Structure 1
Amino acid sequence: MILVYVADGCPFCELLLADLQKRRVSFVAVNLSREPERIGELARWTFERAVPVVVDHERCSVGFRGKSTELAALGL
């Protein structure tokens, strides 16, 4: 199972989640808009402050198809 950090208003987050659901990939989504106290967890995986972030075991990737949204642009 993978961990996915997303936020409301991020079009790339929506695309990623739809893609994962379409491919029936098991994942746990952390919505930073609803749980802003978890933003600090991102520093464990990446220094970037952007979503979506996908954590698969010890690997981390930022963005979906090369695009991401800065947290500041989402008011976070």
Structure 2
Amino acid sequence: MSSPSRPLHVLWMLISRYQQYLAWRDAAQMRTARIRAETQAQQQLQAMLHANPSGQLGHAVLDDESALRKSRLIE
């Protein structure tokens, strides 16, 4: 006969594996969303540079730390 704790252990193991699967799926979705957002940001920057050929945005870059600090978005 199996001990009473054996079925609980199996149940716990199955729940644990399912939770790990959910975590992996969430991480994959977040990677996809991050890539999509970075691509969109790059496209928007290119569109801004194309729409403003005067040179005012000619040196714009994504994640420019000095510009972010100057605008106080980061410290």
TM-score by length of 2: 0.29
Compare the two structures and name the one with the higher strand fraction.
1
| Structure with larger RCO (C-alpha < 8 A, sep 6+) | 1
Compare the two structures and name the one with the higher helix fraction.
2
Q: Which structure has the bigger radius of gyration? A: 2
